[in-house]
Chain A
């Protein structure tokens, strides 16, 4: 589904990614862990198409297409979804409006008709319930005045409605208390399917207790320095990131 080959990128003069290669097959859940500044968020942003980064080497192929030449909206329509680390507030655009506009843009791209208003409302209401959010929430501005946990749950709501093929969760666990974490994890687990893949970027192992990954990668200094099964996350939790850095410097 996604193939990253020797990806190098920088922001301004600063080299951030120094040759990342990664293969993700349909249905797989990959966790990307690493200390602060290791390039985790940069990787997520480059995959989603955010401006401000220059890819200097390597390629990213998504479903056989060159991802890096696509506009952010084209990537979204092709099934890529980034759940933001810091979701922005968009006053004046209601949640329900955004959901409908986004869903229709994606449907249109696939030659489908606009969603029926009643069907849509029913769909949204069922999803919002499972994320333990109030219905009134739909009519408020996107993330406007939401708590940290509500913002993260809102990202998962969008994901559940838009049904992407590749979900990138950028530190979705940060700032969540344990109850909110469970709700978010349940939301993600409900979306797992043999055709949908996940990249979970996280600093801590905690999220991985709730969403079990197939593969764990450790990112440090812009490179994947170690890959393994879920047990790698536990090892990181026990030993910290220090030993990774130490082994790199040798």
Chain B
């Protein structure tokens, strides 16, 4: 049985929902996936990211009975936040906490929302592009049955972050989620997505987040991917920034054996989009981050700052595409990709791509791939620090410049710890 046949069987389990709009959304994706299967490296967007290992494995949607975390989720970043926990792709009511949610905020797991689908729900699934999906997105769309639905009323500022935790614990489990966010005009939300898993349980998690950030509203977003070492991870953000909408996001992609993370944004006039991110590929990890920013309106601003670290036989791929539409004058777009190679077998491919169809624009990009500064290594050694520690410190410092900018502090601490644990060399002591 090939992989398409294997997954086709599961499509039926999510079919037959009585909601025509949902079926309209799924059908084209399902058909495309059945006809063509997973993307392959002959396609430009997947050139450096083979899906062989993902295709060879046979993942099976996990059963809901396991929707209790196998260990307590004592993560710092869960404090002072609304908590939505998905275990093996299923909402875990026991582990979640939505207490004290204001009436201006509609927040429900999709499985519960589907039981009483009102106008909120249908509204959240409106305006979804169906033609331009690639087939991994199709795969997600054909199968998702869970996720987060968030709708915030106009001018409401939800200051407390919403933490969405995805825990993968079943071996060979398939977890498929789709999160839908709508931030109404003048409103504000803060979303923190975390993906964690067991190192010894290979699994596949695909998770798409669709966010509509309306006029003058803002969304802050932190995403930490530290799935188990044997797992596959695909996640994407599809962001619509309306006039003067603001988005500020940090992505740390540290875990999984194979990972692809996408951020696609459409910027309306005077919108602001600030993306920062880190990728770390060690062992035989493959980390792919792809961004595409479409400057559709005038006077929009975008900033992208990414850092990649690869060591051992790790492989990093970064593709950053900026498209400035005709008439999107006074666009101001900047992209900086800095990469660090720590071993001769590590590899990072960084591809900035600019496509500019307007005249009056400011677009800049800078890419570097380098090694640690040996002068700095010697300076640290000359102060009594061992060479291994010096390298660890400098590698951490390379990433820490971005981590220091993460808000809130709890997420910052959590990502810092996750990074330290993943870097080569021993821990070199506590923060002063």
* Chain A residues close to B by CB (< 8 Å): 48-51, 71-73, 75-77, 81-82, 84, 87-88, 90-94, 96-98, 100-106, 109, 114, 117, 120, 141-142, 158, 162
Contacts and interface: CB of A to CB of B under 8 A. Distances in A.
Interface string B228-258: 0000000000000000000000000000000
B381 A76 contact: yes
Interface in B355-412: 373-376, 378-387, 389, 393-394, 396-401
A155 to B, nearest CB: 10
7 contacts: A51-B374, A93-B380, A93-B393, A101-B383, A102-B384, A105-B384, A162-B384
Contacts of B21: none
B428 interface: yes
Contact of A73 (B387, B393, B399, B432): B387
B429 interface: yes
A205 B397 CA distance: 39
B429 A101 contact: yes
Contact of A104 (B382, B429, B431): B429
Given A71-B387, A73-B385, A97-B431, A92 B401 contact: yes
Contact of B379 (A87, A103, A109): A87
Given A73-B384, A76-B384, A84 B379 contact: yes
Nearest 10 CB-CB pairings of A with B: A92-B397, A102-B383, A76-B384, A72-B381, A105-B384, A100-B432, A73-B381, A106-B384, A93-B397, A88-B375
A92 B379 CA distance: 14
A84 B385 CA distance: 16
A4 to B, nearest CB: 19
Contact of A92 (B384, B386, B398): B398
B422 to A, nearest CB: 17
A50 B394 CA distance: 18
Contact of B385 (A87, A96, A105): A105
Contacts of A141: 397
Contacts of B375: 88
A101 B389 CA distance: 10
Nearest to A107: B384
B402 to A, nearest CB: 9
B40 to A, nearest CB: 39
A76 B378 CA distance: 11
A75 B385 CA distance: 11
Contacts of A97: 431-432
B400 A92 contact: yes
Contact of B376 (A77, A90, A102): A90
Would you call the interface of chain B mostly helix, strand, loop, or mixed?
Answer: helix
Contacts of B378: 50-51, 72
Nearest to B403: A92
Would you call the interface of chain A mostly helix, strand, loop, or mixed?
Answer: helix
Given A88-B373, A90-B397, A105 B386 contact: yes
A200 B341 CA distance: 38
Nearest to A79: B384
Nearest to B383: A102
A73 B398 CA distance: 22
A114 B432 CA distance: 12
A106 to B, nearest CB: 5
A76 B383 contact: yes
A91 B401 contact: yes
B397 A109 contact: no
Contacts of A72: 378, 381-382
A114 B393 CA distance: 18
A156 to B, nearest CB: 13
A76 B382 contact: yes
A162 B380 CA distance: 13
Interface in B418-432: 428-429, 431-432
A198 to B, nearest CB: 16
Contacts of A87: 379
B428 to A, nearest CB: 6
A153 to B, nearest CB: 16
A141 B376 CA distance: 12
A227 B429 CA distance: 46
A77 B384 contact: yes
B209 to A, nearest CB: 30
Contacts of B385: 73, 101-102, 105
A51 B400 CA distance: 28
Nearest to A143: B379
A120 B384 contact: no
Most chain A Cβ neighbours within 10 Å, of B396, B428, B431, B432: B432
A165 to B, nearest CB: 13
B13 to A, nearest CB: 48
Contact of B386 (A73, A91, A120, A158): A73
Nearest to B401: A92
A131 B160 CA distance: 44
Contacts of B389: 101, 105
B384 A71 contact: no
A98 B384 CA distance: 10
Contacts of A158: 383
Nearest to B379: A88
Contacts of B431: 97
B191 to A, nearest CB: 27
Interface string B328-339: 000000000000
A245 to B, nearest CB: 31
Contacts of A98: 380, 383
Contacts of A91: 397, 401
A36 B389 CA distance: 35
Contacts of B382: 48-50, 72-73, 75-76, 81-82
Contacts of A51: 374, 378
Interface string B29-46: 000000000000000000
A202 to B, nearest CB: 20
Contacts of A77: 384
B384 A90 contact: no
Given A49-B382, A105-B385, A93 B394 contact: yes
